[in-house]
Amino acid sequence: MTSSAPAPTKLNKFEKYKVEKDGLAVKDELEEFSRLGWEALDETDLVHRLKWLGIFFRPVTPGQFMLRLRIANGILNSEQLRVLAGIVQRYGDDGSADITTRQNLQLRGIRFEDFPDILQQLQNIGLTSVQSGMDNVRNITGSPVAGIDGAEFIDTIPLCQAIQDAITNHGAGNPDYTNLPRKFNIAVAGGPDNSVHAEINDIAYVPAFKDGNFGFNVLVGGFFSAKRCEAAIPLNAWVTADQLADLSCAILRVFRDHGPRANRQKSRLMWLIDDWGLEKFRTAVEQEFAQSLPEAAPKDEIAWEKRDHIGIYPQKQEGLNYAGLHVPVGRLNAEQMFEIARLAQVYGNSEIRLTVEQNVIITGIEQAKLDAFQQEPLLQTFSLAPAPLVRELVSCTGARFCNFALVETKQRALALAQELTEELTLSQPVRIHWTGCPNSCGQPQVADIGLMGTKTRKDGKTVEAVDIYMGGKVGKDAKLGERVLKSIPCEDLKPVLRDLLLDKFGAIQRA
């Protein structure tokens, strides 16, 4: 398999190995690899190229791999979730799954020799993990209540699926898009509340009416990285729903063929837009799209604050409800996954949605079944009404599994939120996001209070610490937060957070 990317003049080491062999080539080699065992693999295949299949070697837990799926619009069904639960269950205490900040699932603990069988199982149930890591397009996010929300303008599920199918060749793998200069994020907003964080995606489609017709304004270039974070900017283009997949591919080809590849820290789409200027970029996209792009609609339809969907809400379908279950920091074990699948089948329409806040939504619950549903023991753990400091807690993977991490995140995030809940009363949820390093997978810049892992010195020793971000605004008029405090040792963090909550978020000390 070859990639369509041109040979750049100056290659960083990642570009060199992509030229040597396209990442997707490991698809044909996986059987042989799994016979040999991971210890026998070439290091580049093991650490990097396997990510083109969604297979992540974890240096923190060698021999226990992670599998990142693609779940377009974060929607799956009971049967699919049961198969995923069965995969995780095989690995006992080592197995678990995480709901990610891109409305997706990652499975953990997997033994390398099991991958050919697992990928076949995924294919059998209509799921794929292809092109989900490294220089590929990540999970396509859409409204988590698409198709059931009375306020939506459009159901984003088929749109996200069409984009994913175009980029991955319906999950089989598509060499046209496997050698991008860097990772790439695409989101489609379908309602007025910007449920996808449009502003932090390389391409975001936001609902907008033009001359009475429905379509999308296009935003480009949003991203977070250790070096730089930028909100997406308007491309000054408007497209109809049936054009999203083609336009996404056209932008990807411009990025693939012209995006900067010399410095990995300067290769995301925005760096190309900076280099060319928006007009030249827009013209190149039009050429690749093979038609001119109408100017953006004068305004978009993002008009609401962002909803977290936790709790029970009526659907637009008469007599049906959806239930948003809070999954603390997105972590699931096999038993819980089986149980979610069962609840969705017994009480709902067997559909499960994931959110970028790392939670779960069960849909299609009839009014008459709501009482019994609320008595289910799982809802003791996955609450419909969590405490305000826990409700909107988000955390990246952190040191437990991620070798980039500078701090442990998930356990600490939850423990601190629970301890502060014991001490403080709050009338409103506070969006607290943890991220283990400056890569910002936990999106601290979109939070009311964002915590980014770092190291600092205390009493002559290096200790885990955080930088604190504040001012992130989501939904309407979204804005990225900024760093307000630096290098707070984690062991000193609780009083700092308590003071912030008392001073800025109306918290009241409990008696």
Contact between 401 and ligand SRM by CB under 6 A: the answer reads yes
We find the least distance from the C-beta atom of residue 478 to ligand SRM, in angstroms, to be: 13
435 binds, among ligand SRM, ligand SF4, none (CB under 5 to 8 A by kind): ligand SF4
Contact between 434 and ligand SRM by CB under 6 A: the answer reads no
Q: Give the per-residue SS3 of 290-318.
A: CCCCCCCCCCCCCCCCCCCCCEEEECCCC
The residue (of 172 and 226) whose beta carbon lies closer to ligand SF4 is 226
Stretch that binds ligand SRM, among 143-151, 160-168, 236-244, 440-448 (CB under 6 A): 440-448
Task: Tell me the C-alpha to C-alpha distance, in Å, between residue 297 and each of 240, 250, 294, 301, 328.
Answer: 11, 21, 9, 10, 39
Contact between 441 and ligand SF4 by CB under 6 A: the answer reads yes
Report which of 462, 471, 407, 410 is spatially closest to residue 444, judged by C-alpha positions. Answer: 471
182 is catalytic: yes
We find the least distance from the C-beta atom of residue 437 to ligand SF4, in angstroms, to be: 3
Q: How many CB atoms lie within 10 A of CB 211?
A: 8
Contact between 454 and ligand SRM by CB under 6 A: the answer reads no
The residue (of 198 and 365) whose beta carbon lies closer to ligand SRM is 198
DSSP state of 481: -
Stretch that binds ligand SRM, among 101-109, 289-297, 383-391, 467-475 (CB under 6 A): 101-109
Non-local CB neighbours of 336 within 8 Å, separated by 6+ positions: 378, 381, 382
Non-local CB neighbours of 119 within 8 Å, separated by 6+ positions: 30, 53, 129
Non-local CB neighbours of 275 within 8 Å, separated by 6+ positions: 260
**DSSP characters over 256-302:** HHHS--S-GGG-SHHHHHHHH-HHHHHHHHHHHHTSPPPPPPSS-S-
Contact between 18 and ligand SRM by CB under 6 A: the answer reads no
> How many residues make contact with ligand SRM (CB under 6 A)?
32
For residue 255, the one-letter residue type is F
437 binds, among ligand SF4, ligand SRM, none (CB under 5 to 8 A by kind): ligand SF4
The residue (of 283 and 333) whose beta carbon lies closer to ligand SRM is 333
436 is catalytic: yes
The residue (of 302 and 394) whose beta carbon lies closer to ligand SF4 is 394
Q: Interaction with ligand SRM in 125-184: which residues (CB under 6 A)?
A: 133, 138-139, 182-183
We find the least distance from the C-beta atom of residue 403 to ligand SF4, in angstroms, to be: 8
Contact between 487 and ligand SF4 by CB under 6 A: the answer reads no
Residue number closest to ligand SF4, CB atom: 436
Contact between 441 and ligand SRM by CB under 6 A: the answer reads yes
Contact between 414 and ligand SRM by CB under 6 A: the answer reads no
Contact between 315 and ligand SF4 by CB under 6 A: the answer reads no
Rounded to whole angstroms, the Cα distance separating 99 from 111 reads 20
Angle at the Cα of 130 (from 126 to 135), degrees rounded to 5? 155
Task: Tell me the C-alpha to C-alpha distance, in Å, between residue 192 and each of 206, 304, 472.
Answer: 9, 6, 19
Site map (CB under 6 A) of ligand SF4, residues 357-396, x = contact: ---------------------------------------x
For residue 274, which phi and psi values (nearest 5 degrees)? -60, -45
Contact between 45 and ligand SRM by CB under 6 A: the answer reads no
DSSP state of 368: G
138 binds, among ligand SRM, ligand SF4, none (CB under 5 to 8 A by kind): ligand SRM
Stretch that binds ligand SRM, among 6-14, 346-354, 399-407, 476-484 (CB under 6 A): 399-407
Rounded to whole angstroms, the Cα distance separating 328 from 335 reads 15
Q: State how beta strands 320-325 and 331-332 pair.
A: unpaired
Task: Return the residue matching tokens 């969590």.
Answer: 386
- Candidate residues 80, 440, 454, 456; the one interacting with ligand SRM per rule CB under 6 A: 440
Asked whether 270 and 260 are in contact (CB, 8 A), the reply is no
**DSSP characters over 325-346:** EP-GGGEE-HHHHHHHHHHHHH
First to last CA, the chain: 67
Task: Tell me the C-alpha to C-alpha distance, in Å, between residue 269 and each of 113, 137, 273, 281, 355.
Answer: 36, 12, 7, 10, 25
- Candidate residues 77, 89, 439, 487; the one interacting with ligand SF4 per rule CB under 6 A: 439
Residue number closest to ligand SRM, CB atom: 225
- Candidate residues 321, 383, 435, 443; the one interacting with ligand SF4 per rule CB under 6 A: 435
183 is catalytic: yes
Q: How many CB atoms lie within 10 A of CB 242?
A: 11
Rounded to whole angstroms, the Cα distance separating 164 from 203 reads 13
- Candidate residues 88, 365, 405, 497; the one interacting with ligand SF4 per rule CB under 6 A: 405
Q: Interaction with ligand SRM in 212-271: which residues (CB under 6 A)?
A: 223-226, 268
Site map (CB under 6 A) of ligand SRM, residues 315-354, x = contact: ----------------------------------------
Dmax (CA) of the chain? 67
We find the least distance from the C-beta atom of residue 447 to ligand SRM, in angstroms, to be: 12
68 is catalytic: yes
Instruction: Write out the catalytic residue numbers.
Output: 68, 182-183, 436, 441-442
Instruction: Summarize as ranges the residues that interact with ligand SRM (CB under 6 A).
Output: 56, 58, 66, 68, 98, 100-102, 104, 106, 133, 138-139, 182-183, 185, 200, 223-226, 268, 396-397, 401-404, 439-441, 443
Residues of the shown chain interacting with ligand SF4 in the complex, contacts defined by CB under 6 A: 396-398, 402, 404-405, 435-437, 439-442
